[in-house]
Amino acid sequence: MQKIAVIGAGTMGNGIAHVFAQKGHKVNLIDISQDALDKGLQTITKNLDRMLAKEKITQDDKASTLQNIATFTSIKEGVTKVDVVIEAASEHLDIKLSIFKELDTLCSDDTILATNTSSISITQIAAATGRPDKVIGMHFMNPVPIMQLVEIIRGYNTSDKTTEQIMTLSTQLGKTPTEVNDYPGFVANRILMPMINEAIETLYNGVAGVAEIDTVMKLGMAHPMGPLQLADFIGLDVCLSILNVMYDGFKNPKYAPCPLLVNMVMAKKLGVKSGEGFYDYSESRKAEKVSDQFLR
């Protein structure tokens, strides 16, 4: 399984392309936007330069990693004769179903179709194809080059062979694959998102401020990053989408998104990606008041 296609050159997609290319795989990085592809390659180069500065890789390692990546704005051209396709597009069901339906017609019968979805049903995605036994979840964590976990999600019809192949492939990347079953949010986000949502509720109810909530969780619970800062890094729109998937899937009010989160997303305060969320990233300083306007 040497040739990989990655669909989506955003934060997760370029990170996935990076780790495969660094391990010697030929990677086709695909996005409908040439600008997104250029930015993705810039991010990969910047991350490789950081590793080079820390003497974790050599100049030759950097050069060979970049040489292993080819870019495409056409899915049809990018998925030709690949062993695995990993979809890392937007976390919207309709988009994913459309992509997988197209992939099923373009890819060879032996190609495994994986999705980096963090919450959407693998079984539902697989139903858009004629090869549900070869569809699987491959949920990388952000930032992909650093985080060790890959959550491997089996759909209802995912075969043992496909699961074993993806578990082995993940191990070869130097990651730790962990197999879970197909329920909304899987394991990682089923536990993480309610915690983040509760932190937002705590802010919304005026129990404490942004910095105070994050400090309690960092120093009291030994979390490397507070839940509000983590939400900013994930993207508040992504957090909202995941919570909605779980709420729709379980019909349990404990997964209902906090009104503060809903309002911030509507106001385009999405976290790091927009320069402003619970913190102000445009000035590289904490800004509890960024969210104050939504508490009134």
Rounded CA separation 114/153 (Å): 10
Q: Which positions ≥6 away from 183 have C-beta within 8 Å?
A: 190, 249
The reported pLDDT for the residue numbered 285 is: 55
Band of residue 8 on the pLDDT scale cut at 50, 70, 90? very high
Rounded CA separation 205/79 (Å): 49
- Told to judge if 189 belongs to the known catalytic residues of this protein, a careful annotator would answer yes
Q: In 114-269, where does DSSP find H-type helix?
A: 122-126, 160-172, 188-204, 210-215, 221, 227-234, 236-250, 259-266
The reported pLDDT for the residue numbered 293 is: 44
Q: Which domains does the chain have, with CATH numbers?
A: 3-181 (3.40.50.720), 189-291 (1.10.1040.10)
- Told to judge if 170 belongs to the known catalytic residues of this protein, a careful annotator would answer no
The reported pLDDT for the residue numbered 283 is: 62
What is the mean pLDDT of the segment spanning 126-131?
98
Question: Is 246 in contact with 190 (CB distance < 8 Å)?
Answer: yes
Band of residue 282 on the pLDDT scale cut at 50, 70, 90? confident
Radius of gyration for the alpha carbons in the chain, expressed in angstroms and rounded: 19
List, as residue ranges, the binding site for NAD(+): 8-13, 31, 91, 96, 118, 142, 273
Cα–Cα distances in angstroms (integers) from residue 182 to residues 24, 83, 117, 120, 265, in the given order? 31, 23, 11, 9, 27
Tens-digit pLDDT profile for residues 141-178? 999 999 999 999 999 999 999 999 999 999 999 999 99
Q: Which of 18, 116, 121, 151 is catalytic?
A: 151
What is the mean pLDDT of the segment spanning 63-81?
97
Task: Give the mean pLDDT of the chain.
Answer: 94
Q: Which of 116, 118, 170, 241 is catalytic?
A: 118
Whether 291 has a pLDDT exceeding 60, the answer reads no
Q: Which of 116, 189, 197, 291 is catalytic?
A: 189
The reported pLDDT for the residue numbered 188 is: 95
Percent of the chain as helix, strand, coil, to the nearest 5 = 50, 15, 35
Q: Which of 18, 139, 170, 291 is catalytic?
A: 139
- Told to judge if 28 belongs to the known catalytic residues of this protein, a careful annotator would answer no
Rounded CA separation 86/17 (Å): 9
Question: Is 6 in contact with 27 (CB distance < 8 Å)?
Answer: yes
List, as residue ranges, the binding site: 8-13, 31, 91, 96, 118, 142, 273
Exposed, middle or buried: residue 249 (CB in 10 Å: 0-12, 13-18, 19+)?
middle
Whether 214 has a pLDDT exceeding 50, the answer reads yes
